[in-house]
Chains A and B, each alone.
Chain A
Amino acid sequence: SQKIEQNSEALNIQEGKTATLTCNYTNYSPAYLQWYRQDPGRGPVFLLLIRENEKEKRKERLKVTFDTTLKQSLFHITASQPADSATYLCALESTGGGNKLTFGTGTQLKVEL
């Protein structure tokens, strides 16, 4: 069966360090993968999209890698700040297509002073 797995345990890191979050998937052949940020009681906010033919993508302090052989994406936040504390979700297009997304359960990140 299809699965999208993210570390369910919260990730606590110190301000200024690099946070690395993992997204693993099985039984998907995604053309692209997306990362979203979700704050408590709010809808997700789009961060980055990476395509299957891209190894890495950057946006300001964010970096995403995509390894279709390992079936894994890594999401990095460099020089992390307390304001980066949130839940981060990865998402893949559902097999039915139509741009429908299936989300992972998300990883909660806490950046401490």
Chain B
Amino acid sequence: GAVVSQHPSRVICKSGTSVKIECRSLDFQATTMFWYRQFPKQSLMLMATSNEGSKATYEQGVEKDKFLINHASLTLSTLTVTSAHPEDSSFYICSAKSPPRGQETQYFGPGTRLLVL
């Protein structure tokens, strides 16, 4: 149980294009999902908290107009990187809380590797 999927697993795009990444909780409903970014040999950095049915809460320094988050249902959150640039190349990981298993634990997706040329 508590499986989180992400799609796509890898994406290569040209500079200036937009890329959408999906995060799904497969066997539970997630009222809250989190989006992280991880650069090589660095830790996960929280970008935003995604709440179903409401606007996402962004961390300081994260541009909300560049990283659009939509939590359309209890099992799906999407992150759209708009007008992507090479510096946006990174590993994007989502997570979801699974209430039946305790509020504190987050279950992570397998990540999406984005490369912007």
Q: Is the A/B pair a real complex?
A: yes
Give A100 to B105 CA distance when docked, in angstroms. 10
Give A7 to B113 CA distance when docked, in angstroms. 26
Are B108 and A43 in contact, CB atoms less than 8 angstroms apart?
A: yes
A12 CB within 8 Å of chain B: no
Are A42 and B104 in contact, CB atoms less than 8 angstroms apart?
A: no
Q: Which residues of B contact A74 (CB under 8 A)?
A: none
Q: Which of A43, A100, A101, A103 sits near B110, CB closer than 8 Å?
A: A43
* Distance of A100 from chain B, by nearest CB (Å): 6
Q: Which residues of A contact B49 (CB under 8 A)?
A: 98, 100
Are B34 and A44 in contact, CB atoms less than 8 angstroms apart?
A: no
Q: Which residues of A contact B103 (CB under 8 A)?
A: 99
- Mark each residue of chain B from 24 to 62: 1 if its CB lies under 8 Å from any CB of chain A, else 0: 000000001010000000111010010000000100000
Nearest neighbor of B111 in chain A, beta-carbon distance:
A43
Q: Which residues of A contact B107 (CB under 8 A)?
A: 46
- Mark each residue of chain A from 45 to 74: 1 if its CB lies under 8 Å from any CB of chain B, else 0: 110010000000000000000000000000
Give A100 to B32 CA distance when docked, in angstroms. 10
B71 CB within 8 Å of chain A: no
Give A103 to B46 CA distance when docked, in angstroms. 9
Give A94 to B109 CA distance when docked, in angstroms. 20
Are B108 and A41 in contact, CB atoms less than 8 angstroms apart?
A: no
Nearest neighbor of B98 in chain A, beta-carbon distance:
A46
Given known pairs A100-B34, A100-B49, the reply for A44 and B44 (CB within 8 Å) is yes
* Distance of B71 from chain A, by nearest CB (Å): 14
* Contact residues, A79-113 vs B (CB, 8 A): 89, 93-94, 98-106
Are B93 and A43 in contact, CB atoms less than 8 angstroms apart?
A: yes
Are B108 and A44 in contact, CB atoms less than 8 angstroms apart?
A: yes
A interface list, Cβ under 8 A from B? 32, 34, 36, 41-46, 49, 89, 93-94, 98-106
Closest A-B pairs by Cβ, 4 of them:
A43-B108, A103-B43, A105-B43, A43-B111
